[in-house]
Amino acid sequence: MFVFNRLFVASKSQVSLEYILLVSAAIVFIIIVAVLVRNVVMTPVMNQSSNTSSYIRNVTVNLTNFTPS
């Protein structure tokens, strides 16, 4: 009986350790995906926004400095 209880406790602790490892791996995976999405998807959007704002700034400067011929 003592041996069975000892094995059962070891089995429960092993299962707990496996769950902890599984959750840790899932968290690491989510972090990696978040970083990749941020770098791959968001960077071009930020660059496009910067280019668009530069274009708008140039157009408005040209309008304010307009001299009719």
Domain ranges, residue 29:
9-36
46 within some domain: no
Whether 15 maps to a domain, the answer reads: yes
Task: Note whether residue 43 is domain-resident.
Answer: no
CA–CA separation, 36 and 6 (whole Å): 45
Q: Could you tell me the pTM of the whole model?
A: 0.51
Instruction: Determine the Cα–Cα distance for residues 62 and 64; give it in Å rounded to an integer.
Output: 6
How many structural domains comprise the chain?
1
Is the residue at 66 inside a domain?
no
Identify whether 41 is part of a domain.
no
- List strand residue ranges (DSSP E) for the chain, in order: none
Low-confidence ranges of the chain (pLDDT < 50): 1
Is 14 among the domain residues? yes
Residue 58 maps to a domain: no
Per-residue confidence (pLDDT) for residue 51, from 0 to 100: 72
